[in-house]
């Protein structure tokens, strides 16, 4: 008879492995039982914030069950191995063609590729601008040692781009009452060494769209007046997957001839799981040959444009699933619900008393996000950092942060409404915000929290 009695091997928390703290820095000498180690690692993840309650992130935190299955089916697919996985490569090419259509590229071969996110896409779009500027300057016999890039208040990826590639970053400072790039300000920073202007469709700090068309018109006028032809790259990390569905009349994309390239995050409002972005060029000629590596092992010649090599294919496959599954109709429904919820939140937060809404999530003017500040000239006895700290008690992560130059002394708080941040959840959040306000009023801190004391929200 086989022995079916329990043994030491069946124990999890009662085992010798888990009856003490696990190694944190020395490389473990011995192997361990998978079930026990799995349990310990999974348990540790409990200490992370709950992603669904993370209202700081722009990224997807809820996916349909079919996405989970597709990700599992793709766990072993390396998208760079285009000869081994030609169908994944074909699916990526289809997504590129669909994006050229969505963003109104002119007829002709769709030019673009997937990336790990908008950051890599920004590096590639930025590099193409630099190369095109260099080629033009060289042809004119002019020096290429002082390139600059003009942006509004941008996400950190553009600081990385300019620093990694030795480009002068001319970031238009915010001003009291002006938290965006305007055409007048953009022109002030442009000269013959400007490789491009980057407006953001959905500024990180407030959620607002920068005025791409007005900036484009201003640059058209500059070209008429001075002959300077300065291209636009749109950082559409969020807006690239919002405006086409929810603000279709907004001209921000390849309908504007000056827009030569666009990046967007598939894992934000593209609704794909974490790890995919897109960069698209208007036409083939906007992507310098020197950035393309040709791989010929597919029968045809395949372009490879990327900073990475190996990368999972699942996110791309899921992006394609989303395009087919939702279509324009579905994306409008999903994002439309988010905009409605943002409006609900903006009204509720405005009615609480101490706050002034900075951006209310209007679909024609920005992304489904709400940002607010404490009313100018008032001191309610608490800071936005106190409020964020108190909301954390219920698991809500609602970031408070100070603005970039020249508004560093102004704190702002922001909620990102994305798929799965439902109106019902937000109604519960509103109740918790009211309770938090009552709490901070009843128990004022001797020393209200500042940004330096805040626990720090990462996104």
Q: Rule CB under 6 A: which residues touch ligand PLP?
A: 58, 117-119, 155, 157, 200, 202, 204, 235, 237-238, 265, 277
Q: How many residues does the chain have?
A: 459
Collect contacts of 222-227 with beta carbons under 8 A, ≥24 apart.
Answer: 222/187, 222/190
CB of 448 to ligand PLP, least distance (A): 29
Collect contacts of 434-438 with beta carbons under 8 A, ≥24 apart.
Answer: 434/352, 436/387, 436/390, 436/391, 436/393, 437/352, 437/354, 437/382, 437/387
β-strands 277-281, 259-265: how paired?
antiparallel
74 or 203: CB nearest ligand PLP = 203
CB of 362 to ligand PLP, least distance (A): 18
132 or 267: CB nearest ligand PLP = 267
Q: What gap in Å lies between CA 77 and CA 71, rounded to an integer?
A: 10
CB of 85 to ligand PLP, least distance (A): 23
Residues pairing with 171 in the sheet: 151
Radius of gyration of the chain (CA): 25
CB of 450 to ligand PLP, least distance (A): 25
118 or 261: CB nearest ligand PLP = 118
CB of 273 to ligand PLP, least distance (A): 12
The region, left, alpha or beta by phi > 0 then psi within -120 to 50, assigned to residue 395 is: left
119 or 341: CB nearest ligand PLP = 119
Q: Which residue is nearest to ligand PLP (CB)?
A: 117
155 or 383: CB nearest ligand PLP = 155
153 or 354: CB nearest ligand PLP = 153
How far CA 126 is from CA of 114, 133, 203, 454, in Å, comes to: 15, 11, 18, 34
CB of 277 to ligand PLP, least distance (A): 5
CB of 269 to ligand PLP, least distance (A): 10
Q: What gap in Å lies between CA 124 and CA 185, rounded to an integer?
A: 26
70 or 264: CB nearest ligand PLP = 264
Residue with tokens 């020249």: 406
């Amino acid at each position: 008879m086989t022995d079916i009695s329990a043994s030491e091997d069946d124990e999890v928390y009662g085992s010798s492995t888990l009856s003490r703290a696990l190694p944190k820095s020395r490389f473990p000498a011995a192997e361990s039982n998978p079930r026990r180690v799995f349990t310990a690692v999974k348990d540790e993840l409990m200490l992370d914030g709950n992603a669904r309650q993370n209202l700081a992130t722009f990224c997807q935190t809820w996916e349909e069950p079919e996405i989970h299955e597709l990700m599992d089916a793709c766990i072993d697919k390396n998208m760079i191995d285009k000869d081994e996985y030609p169908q994944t490569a074909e699916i990526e090419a289809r997504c590129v063609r669909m994006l050229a259509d969505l963003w109104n590229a002119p007829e002709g071969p769709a030019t673009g590729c997937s990336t790990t996110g908008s950051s890599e896409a920004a590096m590639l779009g930025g590099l193409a601008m630099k190369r095109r500027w260099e080629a033009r300057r060289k042809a004119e016999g002019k020096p290429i040692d002082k390139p600059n890039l003009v942006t509004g208040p941008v996400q950190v990826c553009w600081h990385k781009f300019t620093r990694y590639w030795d480009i002068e970053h001319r970031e238009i400072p915010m001003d009291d009452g002006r938290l965006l790039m305007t055409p007048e300000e953009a022109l002030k920073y442009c000269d013959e060494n400007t490789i491009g202007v980057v407006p953001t469709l959905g500024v990180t700090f407030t959620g607002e769209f920068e005025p791409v068309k007005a900036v484009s018109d201003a640059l058209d006028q500059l070209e008429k007046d001075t002959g300077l032809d300065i291209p636009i790259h749109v950082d559409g990390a969020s807006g690239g997957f919002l405006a086409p569905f929810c603000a279709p009349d907004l001209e921000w994309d390849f309908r504007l001839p000056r827009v030569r390239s666009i990046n967007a995050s598939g894992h934000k409002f593209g609704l794909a799981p974490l790890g995919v972005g897109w960069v698209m060029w208007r036409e083939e000629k906007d992507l310098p040959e020197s950035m393309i590596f040709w791989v010929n092992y597919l029968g045809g010649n395949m372009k490879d444009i990327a900073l990475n090599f190996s990368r999972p294919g699942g996110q791309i496959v899921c992006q394609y699933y989303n395009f087919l599954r939702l279509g324009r109709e579905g994306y409008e429904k999903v994002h439309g619900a988010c905009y409605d919820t943002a409006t609900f939140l903006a009204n509720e937060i405005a009615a609480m008393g101490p706050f002034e809404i900075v951006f209310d999530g209007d679909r024609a003017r920005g992304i489904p996000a709400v940002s607010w500040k404490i009313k100018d000239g008032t001191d309610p006895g608490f800071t936005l950092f106190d409020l964020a700290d108190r909301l954390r008690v219920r698991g809500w992560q609602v970031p408070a942060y100070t603005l970039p130059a020249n508004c560093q002394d102004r704190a702002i708080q922001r909620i990102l409404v994305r798929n799965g941040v439902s109106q019902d959840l937000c109604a519960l959040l509103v109740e918790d915000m009211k309770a938090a306000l009552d709490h901070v009023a009843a128990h004022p801190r001797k020393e209200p929290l500042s940004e330096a004391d805040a626990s720090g929200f990462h996104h």
